[in-house]
Amino acid sequence: MIREVLREIDDIERFLNKYKDYLGEDYIKYQKTLSELKIKARLKEIELKIKKALSLKSDKEYSRARVVLKDALALLENLEDETINKKIKTFNNQINLLKIQIENELLQIKNLLLGDESTINIHINPINMVFNIEEDENLKKLKQLLSKYQNPVKIGEGGFAYIFRVVKNNKIVAIKVPKELTELTGKIFLREIENWKKLNHINIVKLYDYNIHPYPYIEMEYCETDLNKIKNKLNLRDALMLIFEVLNGLKYAHNKGIIHKDLKPSNILISNGIPKITDWDLAREETSKSTTINALTLQYSAPEQITRTGIDKRTDIYQIGIILYELTTKQLPFKGDAFDIMESIKNKTPPKPSQINPLIDEELERIILKCIQKDKNKRYQSVGELQKDLANYLNMQLTTELNNSKSKNDFSRSMFYCADLVLFHLNNNDLPNALKYLYDLKYYAKKYCSEEIIKAIDNLINGLEYRIKEGIKEPSDDLKIMTKIVVEKVKMRF
Side chain identity at residue 439, one-letter code? Y
If DSSP states are collapsed to H, E and C, what string results for the chain?
CHHHHHHHHHHHHHHHHHCHHHHCCHHHHHHHHHHHHHHHHHHHHHHHHHHHHHHHHHCCCHHHHHHHHHHHHHHHHHHHHHHHHCCCCCCHHHHHHHHHHHHHHHHHHHHHHCCCCCCCCCCHHHHHCCCCHHHHHHHHHHHHHHCCCEEEEEEEECCCEEEEEEEECCEEEEEEEECCCCHHHHHHHHHHHHHHCCCCCCCECCEEEEECCCCCEEEEECCCEEHHHHHHHCCHHHHHHHHHHHHHHHHHHHHCCEECCCCCHHHEEEECCEEEECCCCCCEECCCCCCCCCCCCHHHCCHHHHCCCCCCHHHHHHHHHHHHHHHHHCCCCCCCCHHHHHHHHHHCCCCCHHHHCCCCCHHHHHHHHHHCCCCHHHCCCCHHHHHHHHHHHHHHHHHHHHHHHHHCCCHHHHHHHHHHHHHHHHHCCCHHHHHHHHHHHHHHHHHHCCHHHHHHHHHHHHHHHHHHHCCCCCCCHHHHHHHHHHHHHHHCCC
> How far is the C-alpha of 244 from the C-alpha of 250, rounded, in Å?
10
Question: φ and ψ at 142, to 5 degrees?
Answer: -65, -40
Closest CA to 201 of 221, 175, 179, 180: 221
Q: Is the peptide bond before 358 cis (omega within 30 degrees of 0)?
A: no
Q: Which long-range contacts link 128-131 to residues 24+ away (Cβ below 8 Å)?
A: 130/162, 130/179, 130/180, 131/180
C-alpha count within 13 angstroms, C-beta hemisphere, residue 432 = 2
Side chain identity at residue 209, one-letter code? D
Closest CA to 314 of 268, 262, 383, 258: 383
Catalytic positions are 262
